[in-house]
Amino acid sequence: MKRIDKGFILPSAAFTIKRSQIKFYDLPDKSPRVGDLIYGRICRIGQHSTLENAYGRIHMIYGGTKAVFVFGNRYAPDYYEGLVPEQIADEIDLIARSGVVGIVKTKNAMIKDATKVKILGYICDHSGKVLNTCDFPLIRPRTTIKKKPRAKMILVCGTSMNSGKSMAAAACCWTLTSRGYKVRAAKVTGTASLKDILLMNDAGARPYADFTYLGYPSTYLLPEDELLGIFNQLDLKYANNPKNFWVVEIADGVIQRETKILLNSPEVRTRIHKLIFCANDAFGAIGGLGTLAEFGLKPNALSGVCSSSPLSIRELSAFTDIPVFSSAEPDMHGLAETLIGSNKISKKHEISDQAAS
């Protein structure tokens, strides 16, 4: 084994790993697994020219930059579909700014080829065992039994990535916290990136977490039991107090594999207090309502990119009476009525709302 010099970037995909654990690297004859850590060097800049670290700082990278990277799968119609390779190779693709690497299977034609990473070796402990993020979860619920009643879950899903889900989730967090409620937040699926959960934290949610806290660099292609395990562990950790709210975002769209698994699961469906659905445009929202109906679900409100356009809202109003709220400029009183109920908004909460405005 060789020793790793201190001048490396530790990215957010390796959220559960401490810098003090990164000491050695080696190149054993081993097939990569989701969560395996490698030590590598940037050898060609492509789409990604930055890396996000575990504190959310964005590092510029250059040819020769050394960093830790994490094998993972990615599903991102706006960027890449990337998969963990069956065998280790000399080079690998950087498929997410958070340090997730894999082999690009397909890519959006509007973006550049992936940044390339020269693999120097797997990161190992003193005994030569390869470090894997999944072996170091930060969240360990004390029980597997969900006591009832539980925190009220506000579930945010949408038509696709970049449909406005994170902004809508943040608007929900801000509306509730500004009325004096305690809000926890989580993102259950997706690819490692601190941006979305930090946005909910900025809107008042604390504590907050996502699947990386459980050691997963991404959730694409995880077995169903592991996927539901992520949801249940986050639920057990953050949603035990019935006086609180738990705002949960699911990545990608309602026809994507992992989202479908969660929406089809009774464990998830029975936890929904309010459902917020986001879309890029009115037609997408209308189609999404039909898809949600196949799950037996009807959203309590619509939002997302489409909600920023008065014309889109006008188009939607011809098809549905479900309220639409703009996540960019939310009507906090109207959103509060949707999330809480007008009969439960106290004078204290009204005053908090006025102060927040």
Looking at 110, 135, 160, the residue that finishes a domain is 135
Is there a domain that residue 67 lies in? yes
Distance of alpha carbon 338 from alpha carbon 344, whole angstroms: 11
- Together in a domain, 211 and 272: yes
Each of the 357 residues of the chain gets a pLDDT tens digit; together they read 999 999 999 999 999 999 999 999 999 999 999 999 999 999 999 999 999 999 999 999 999 999 999 999 999 999 999 999 999 999 999 999 999 999 999 999 999 999 999 999 999 999 999 999 999 999 988 888 999 999 999 999 999 999 999 999 999 999 999 999 999 999 999 999 999 999 999 999 999 999 999 999 999 999 999 999 999 999 999 999 999 999 999 999 999 999 999 999 999 999 999 999 999 999 999 999 999 999 999 999 999 999 999 999 999 999 999 999 998 888 999 999 999 985 555 544 444 444 444
Looking at 101, 135, 169, the residue that finishes a domain is 135
- Together in a domain, 131 and 157: no
pLDDT, residue 354, reads 46
Distance of alpha carbon 301 from alpha carbon 151, whole angstroms: 20
Domain that holds residue 12: 2-135
**Which amino acid type is present at position 52?**
E
- Together in a domain, 175 and 278: yes
Judged by DSSP in three states, 232 sits in: helix
Closest CA to 35 of 222, 232, 185, 196: 222
Is there a domain that residue 180 lies in? yes
Percent helix, strand and coil across the chain, each rounded to 5? 30, 25, 45
pLDDT, residue 342, reads 59
- Together in a domain, 122 and 170: no
Distance of alpha carbon 177 from alpha carbon 140, whole angstroms: 26
pLDDT, residue 344, reads 59
- Together in a domain, 205 and 335: yes
Tally the domains of the chain.
2
pLDDT, residue 144, reads 85
- Together in a domain, 156 and 293: yes
Closest CA to 194 of 212, 174, 207, 182: 212
- Together in a domain, 192 and 317: yes
Is there a domain that residue 223 lies in? yes
Residue 227 Cα to chain centre, angstroms: 13
Report the length, in residues, of the chain: 357
pLDDT, residue 356, reads 45
- Together in a domain, 130 and 163: no
Is there a domain that residue 140 lies in? no
- Together in a domain, 49 and 119: yes
Q: Which residues contact 147 (CB under 8 A, 6 or more apart)?
A: 240
- Together in a domain, 121 and 253: no
DSSP E strands in the chain: the ranges are 2-3, 24-26, 37-44, 50-52, 58-60, 66-71, 74-75, 80-83, 91-94, 100-107, 115-124, 152-158, 183-187, 208-210, 245-253, 272-278, 301-303
CATH at 259: 3.40.50.300
pLDDT, residue 330, reads 87
pLDDT, residue 251, reads 97
- Together in a domain, 49 and 129: yes
Looking at 135, 164, 199, the residue that finishes a domain is 135
- Together in a domain, 313 and 204: yes
